[in-house]
Every structure is written in C-alpha cells, then in structure tokens.
Amino acid sequence: MAEANLHHVLLIDDEEGIRKVMSIALRDAGYVVWIAESGEQGLEIFGRELPALVLTDIKMPGMDGIEVLRRIKAMETDSEVIIITGHGEMELAISALQLEASDFITKPIHDEALFVALKRAEEKISLKRQLRDYTENLELRVKEATAEVRRISDFQANLIDDSLDGIVAGDADRKVVIFNTSAQRLTGYGEEEVVGQLTLEDLYGKELVDHWLSRQSQKSEPSSEDLSAHQDTTILSRQGKRIPIRLTHTILEEKGQKVGCVTFFQDLREIRRLEKQLVQSERLAAIGQTSATIAHAIKNIVGGLKGGMFVVNKGFELANQEYLQNGWDMVQRNIAKISSLAMDLLTYSKERRPEYRLAQVNEVAGEVVELMKVRAEEFKVNLILEATDGLEPVAMDVSGIHQCLVNLLSNAIDACWPEICGHEQGQVVVRTCRHPDWAICVEVEDNGCGIEESDKEKIFTNFFSTKGADGTGLGLMNVQKIAREHQGRMEVESVPHKGSVFRLLLPTGPAEERENGSESQPRENSNLESPSAGA
C-alpha cells in the first residue's frame, strides 16, 4: 500500500472563491495544498502527488465528489477523503460515509469544523499505519526466527536466552528443558518452576501438542509449509490466565527418531489492544457521522409520543375509555422504542468486557421468547421455542446473549407483519441445538419477507437497515458485536418472500481464554487455540 504525504491536502471544488479562502486557511495552518477545479483534475493531481487528505465538493460538473471518493478508495493508498456538502445534501453526505468517507463538513465552512475533520482523518491514518507496521514487523520476525530455528541443529544457549521472543523446548517425553528469559517474563514463571517440572501440555494444552506430533508423524520429511506456518494460540501464565501469542513450532529429530519439540512465540497483547482501539474509534466515528439517521429515528418516536398524548387528552375530554386505552398503548410503544434505541446506541458505542458465567442457553432463549410473546401476538405471529434437551452449560455473558436474541426475535417478528410479507399467519421458531464445530447454536427462523441477495452482505454493516424510516441499523450491528465479543459468529440464510434463518454460534473453551481473543473460527484441535477473525 502506498503511503501518502500526511501534511499534504488536495482541495477539489468548482467554486473559485471557496478554493481561494480554504487554501489560505490550510496554508496558514501549515499544510501543503494542491488545488483542483474538477474531479478529473483532482484525480490527476492525486495520482501524481499522493496527498494523505482530500477535501472534495460533493456536487460538481462532470465527475462529482462521490465518484472521486469511490475512485480514491479503489486505489492502494491510506488517504482519507472529507466531503464538502451544501445545505439540504444530507442524503448525499450519508451515501459518502457509506463509501468510507472520513467525515463531511457543510457550507458555509467554518475553520473550526474544517480542522476538527482534518485532525480526525490524520488520527485515523496514523492509527492504521501503526497497526499495519506492527503487524508487518511481527510477521517478519516470525518468518526470520522460524528459518533460524530450522537451520540450527544444536541449541545455542546464549542466543536462546537473549532472544526477545519466548522460546520453550521439550524433550521426547514432552518435559520442558528450555524456558528462556522472555518466556519467563511473559508468563511470570521462574525457570526453576518450569524446567523439569512442567510439560509442553501444561503450557499449551494436550490436544494442541498431540496435534503437532500427529501431523509430523504422518510425513517422513517436514515440508517448508509446516515449518514456516504460525498459529495464534495462548500460553498459561503463573496466575492461571491464558496469554495470547503467535506461535511456531518444529519437531526435532535425530536419526529418524523424535528427540524433542521447540516452540517460538511473540506476545500478541499489544496488537490486540491496538485492534480494539481502532475498532472503538471507528465505531464512535460512525455514530457521530450518522447522527442524522439517529436524529430522524428519534424524531419519529417523538411524533408517536405526541400522537399518543393527543389521543389520551382527547379521551379525558370526552371521558372515552377506548381513546384513553389506545392513546396510552401508543405512548407505551414509543417509550419502548426510545428505550431500545438508547440501549442499542450504548451497546454499540461502549467498549465492554463480557461478564462470563456458566449458563444454560435454553433458559436464556426461554426468557426471551416469554418476553416477546406480547409483541408476537400484536403482529399475529406464532412464536415457537424448540429447545434441545441436555445441552451443556456454556460460558457466556448472559445479558449480552439476551439482548442479542431480543434483537433477532424483534426483527423476525417485524418481518412477519402481514402487511409486509403477505402471510395471514406469520411464524417465528427459536431453536437451540448442538453444532459439530461449535459448542451451541441458536437459530431464529421466520417465514417473513426474507432478505434480498444484494442486502445480505450489508445487514451487519454500519447503520444499514431494510426498514426505511422505521429502522436505525443498530440492532444487527449490536448482534454482530456481541457475537464477536464471545468469539462467536453470526450466519444468515434467506430467501426473498419466503423467510430467513439467523444463526448464532457460540464456541467452546473457558471464559478466561476468550477475553484475550476476537471472533472465532471452528476449532479442529484444542480449546486452547486462539482463532482468527471470522465472518
């Protein structure tokens, strides 16, 4: 990826006055400014000078700002684009944000708003570069270190002990014989507590070590792929916690006989922290940038509250019990909506650590079904719970999974509304079951309107909704967020006009291990393996 010049700004606007005023302000602030009066000219300058920051008017003759944004984002560069909009162009601004514009500012342009937007864009670029550099450096070190391990047939004590990375070696009986200084520093163990006392299985887990040895025993010669491959897993600390690491291993042989195993690993805690920081900053930026969508949703709810109050007041005036009941029902429905919106916003914007405890998923699903019965009856939807007996308890954040299922059921019931799907009798089935690759599967199946194929990839993205003015897009974003916090996964199957199945998959493994990871993949070895990011 080409690295753009951080303090270079490309300004694209067809109005000469705006170009002149903004370029003066930018140069006074210390930026190197390139000016273009059209989208075509702007792209030509961008390709030549590669500025990190692009300010472009959204409406211009010929190529407009949206097309400029789309073409820049298609290039291999870390540049950020800020959109300049006029009054009444909010829909275009939101479209630009959906195309990954960094921000938008409105005319007339105030210097304070301009420089706040530029600062946000610069911070985002810096954070992406920091994360990329850290990851590239880590992968380079893994490759170099693994090649070194393959070349060495005899351990060099000084080299091992001075290594910045953790090195642990075991003998033919899997007893630890080498535990270098970095491994001691990372885990908190002293060398005398580990060497000759613990096995590789104590540190990494029996299934993982068995997996290494079984793969190696199937081949007469280890391939270069086996020796260079790395995996994300965890190692046990003295405090009993699992620490995330990136690990390589190789089996040591002498005259065709296995004599030991050496592992080489790096601490992943810092890169996990940077990943969380980037996700959190993008999440908060998304909320700020789409405030118009949220404001519109709140406006609709306030309108519903006012309507309910009017009907209630009319009921008092006419002493009409039916008016009073209908008006109060309207007020209650809209209070529930504003409460749900506030909870969704809080869940999405706040970085939280799941509070894991062993719980029965059947109990959580049963509570949610009972809670949603009244809503289902309102929509004339048949709500069914099919719970598999004998499911083992799973470590989960009960409140998070509860909220996840409430959102899924609410969407399923909405999809079965007769005016939308055309069915006289909608049906939603909540199903709990075992899964071959995961601990637990919870399915929410409906016979509603379904999801168009073109929308399936968008439903978990920022503020995307198929409900028009009635939706904020927060519900499924939070479902995805909660699933990832559990290292789980969401799957969707849908046929337009026939219905949908949303599937929540929760992994095996102790709760303390999950706190160090991100979204899971199904695991083929040990529950100590840390998975890579999933869908």
Q: Which CATH number fits domain 5-132: 3.40.50.10800, 3.40.50.620, 3.40.50.1820, 3.40.50.2300?
A: 3.40.50.2300
pLDDT on residue 527: 31
At the topology level of CATH, where does 352-535 sit? Answer: Heat Shock Protein 90 (3.30.565)
DSSP code per residue over 236-251: E-TTSPEEEEEEEEEE
**Strand arrangement of the beta sheet that strand 242-254 belongs to:** 176-179, 166-171, 257-267, 242-254, 231-236
Neighbours of 469 (CB within 10 A): 11
Question: What are the structure tokens assigned to 69, written together?
Answer: 């944004």
pLDDT on residue 252: 80
Q: How far is CA 170 from CA 133, 260, 312, 323, in A?
A: 33, 5, 77, 79
Class of domain 152-267: alpha beta
Give, for 504, the enclosing helix (H) or strand (E). strand 499-506
Closest-CA residue to 465 (of 341, 330, 333): 341
Q: Counting beta carbons within 10 angstroms of the beta carbon of residue 435, is it exposed (0 to 12), middle (13 to 18) or buried (19 or more)?
A: middle
pLDDT on residue 318: 85
Distance separating alpha carbons of residues 400 and 49, to the nearest angstrom: 48
Residue 138 half-sphere exposure toward CB, CA atoms < 13 A = 21
Q: What is the mean pLDDT of each run of 10 residues along the chain (535 residues)?
A: 76 92 92 94 92 92 92 88 85 87 89 92 89 84 77 63 82 88 87 89 83 61 51 81 84 80 86 74 59 59 79 86 85 74 61 79 92 85 92 88 88 80 81 86 91 68 50 67 84 88 80 46 35 29
Question: What are the structure tokens assigned to 126, written together?
Answer: 């810096």
Q: Counting beta carbons within 10 angstroms of the beta carbon of residue 50, is it exposed (0 to 12), middle (13 to 18) or buried (19 or more)?
A: middle
pLDDT on residue 264: 87
Give, for 183, the enclosing helix (H) or strand (E). helix 181-187
Amino acid at 26: L
Domain residue ranges in the chain = 5-132, 152-267, 275-346, 352-535
